[in-house]
Chains A and B, each alone.
Chain A
Amino acid sequence: MAQPVFEPWNDPNEKPLIQFKNVSKRFGDFTAIDDLTIDIFEREFFALLGPSGCGKTTMMRMLAGFETPSDGKIFLSGQDIAPVPPNRRAVNMMFQSYALFPHLSIWENIAFGLKREGMPRNQINARVEEMLRLTRLEKFARRKPHQISGGQRQRVALARSLAKAPKLLLLDEPLGALDRKLREETQFELMDIQEKTGTTFVIVTHDQEEAMTVASRVAVMDNGKVIQVATPADIYEAPNSVYVADFIGDVNLIEGTATATGEGTYALHWRDGVPPLTVTTPQSFSDGQRAHLAIRPEKISISAEKPAEAANAVMGKVLDIAYLGNISTYHVELPSGDIIKAQTANTRRISRRAYTWEDTVWLSWTATGGILLAD
């Protein structure tokens, strides 16, 4: 039985949980957030992705109540949250440093927020136990934060911020301090916990892989503006700008001028004396408009002979091979001096590799393999 697809952003009847309406935030002369409008829905796992200084942390701190917008309004369940101080918001935050209270035990850390609510003693006990179970920390309840490992601290921070059952949980680079292997495990754990508790998560990260793995939707930010909001697949396959294409994953960018050749088909003239490239795109370009063809390395196939039926084929010389185990990336230099990256899966043993340094090879891709982006 097919599960209904979770995509409330496509349903016009859904009310967003959080709405940013033309929000700006300035610190002196510096504009951290520039006229931002965005909707986040209930039960979403929403990722804010961008380089440091792009304003993603400021956005999160405005949701938590540690910053107030200079302009515009933020609504939580339809209510303006500007006058609500941080300690009265149904929003909790997991800090990048975890901010565990060093003088309190794990148990007391998790119970901290519940005690402030004035919850009866036995209910606090039950709730803390539940949180400890959820994050598999039962054994460490009596320890102090400095007596447990980094991964465990991360889970304590999560348990503490979830204990009050907030409408919205904010996670500021929650996995930044963990090593790679632990980070990957924890990503799945986070998704699992998000699903179990049904809480809306907003995560801030600069790690695109992390955003792609955990999020239902990703907002790519730069210089205080949101460049694109879409599902991870759309962000990767259909970036709306050169910036997004370049920021997420590996990409070849070929600059040229577009000329329409048919219904949604364009020819990209990119070097004198070489045949133009063919690309299909739903967007429309005027003749002679500057455009970039963005094509992922794994969409390019590599062969010794010129393939007969490829929409695009170029010849070049293998300059470098990056062997990554499961895949290899070939850096191929064209006669024009451009370098194009192509990726192949290593389905055979490396000793039987078909191409090696200095070999002349053909690179080819289909008309729909790449995407044409305006400047």
Chain B
Amino acid sequence: MRRFFLIAVPYAWLLALFLVPFLIVLKISLSDAAIALPPYVPQFEWSEGIRAFVSQLDLENFTWLIEDDLYWKAYLSSLQIAATSTVLTLMVGYPIAYGMARAPQEWRPTLMMLVILPFWTSFLIRVYAWKGILSNEGFLNQFLLWTGVISEPLQILNTTTAVYIGIVYTYLPFMILPIYAALERMDDSLNEAAEDLGCSRLSAFWLVTIPLSKGGIIAGCFLVFIPAMGEFVIPSLLGGSDTLMIGKVLWEEFFSNRDWPVASAVAVILLLILVVPIVLFQRNQQKEQEGET
């Protein structure tokens, strides 16, 4: 009885507040838009059963998504922005994680804390901090003008470049931590063994350190890529009007255009796109855990 209660309460909660809402999204994505409240007309009733559901299946909203090039452009550009910023984050994060793993033992908890600290501070504030830095009169432009690298202020804020910087900055801890964990676990004598067997420092790094931190690299990349794909705050604060990201499109479709069925269809497709990396990520995590035991 107690066991039943223990399972039933969180189970019921998640069913009611996670699975059911998601099914509703699916249902509304198949409905017609209407100027009413709620602003959609259900295309079918659940009570009519599966057969009715299939026969009445209305993919109008999905066809709309394909026909209007705004949407697939937004998906593509989200993919591209997420992928590029993941690579950038890896390039920034790996040397930091590597330096941390090689730092003296007694420094490491402090370095760890320094990486985690930004994660606990508000995401919104960290994105906001860059507004003052990247604007035309911002510190970066002031600095570059002062050093004489440029003579005219650069337009960085409200461009895709600013979005890259924002994503790299806010998601950096997610990249550093799994890589650091993998590097720290690594036995230092492996590198010495590689050198002993004829590797130079650099080739020992390529042949031993990189392959052994592969699990951490993959985990870090997914931890950046997956949330970056549906990011809304960064493109709307730092990006320009030409920065297309699907999270922003969904938000506008919902709040500005009040087209709930299309917003739902956008969400469904976004989720379908994310299923692949999410499944790959889970696999990688499982493999990592098995490797540890």
Contacts and interface: CB of A to CB of B under 8 A. Distances in A.
Direct contact of A and B (CB under 8 A): yes
B198 A99 contact: no
Nearest to B204: A87
The dominant DSSP class at the B interface is helix
Given A101-B208, A103-B212, A116-B203, A95 B198 contact: no
A147 to B, nearest CB: 12
B206 to A, nearest CB: 12
A103 B196 CA distance: 18
Contact of A64 (B196, B203, B212, B291): B196
Contacts of B198: 87-88, 113, 116-117, 164
A95 B193 contact: yes
Contacts, number: 61
B277 interface: no
B212 A92 contact: no
B237 interface: no
- Chain A interface residue number, banded: 20 to 34
B189 A95 contact: yes
Contact of A116 (B189, B192, B199, B214): B199
A173 to B, nearest CB: 12
Interface in A40-69: 64-66
Contact of A99 (B187, B200, B214): B187
A87 B189 contact: no
B133 interface: no
A288 interface: no
Contacts of B197: 87, 92, 112-113, 116, 160-161, 164
Interface string A96-116: 110101110000000011001
Contacts of B214: 103
B110 to A, nearest CB: 22
A372 interface: no
Contacts of A112: 194, 197, 207
Contacts of B203: 116
Interface residues of B, number: 19
Interface in B123-140: none
A86 interface: yes
B190 A99 contact: yes
Nearest to B208: A101
A101 B192 contact: no
Interface in B93-149: none
A97 B195 CA distance: 16
Residue of B189, B193, B198, B208 with most partner-chain A CB within 10 A: B193
A171 interface: no
A88 B192 CA distance: 13
Contact of B200 (A87, A97, A103, A160): A87
Contact of A102 (B194, B207, B212): B212
A251 B214 CA distance: 54
Interface of A: 64-66, 85-88, 91-93, 95-97, 99, 101-103, 112-113, 116-117, 160-161, 164
12 contacts: A64-B196, A66-B195, A87-B195, A87-B198, A93-B196, A95-B189, A99-B187, A99-B193, A101-B208, A102-B291, A112-B194, A113-B196
Given A64-B192, A87-B197, A103-B211, 10 more contacts: A64-B196, A85-B195, A87-B195, A87-B196, A99-B187, A99-B192, A112-B194, A112-B197, A116-B199, A160-B197
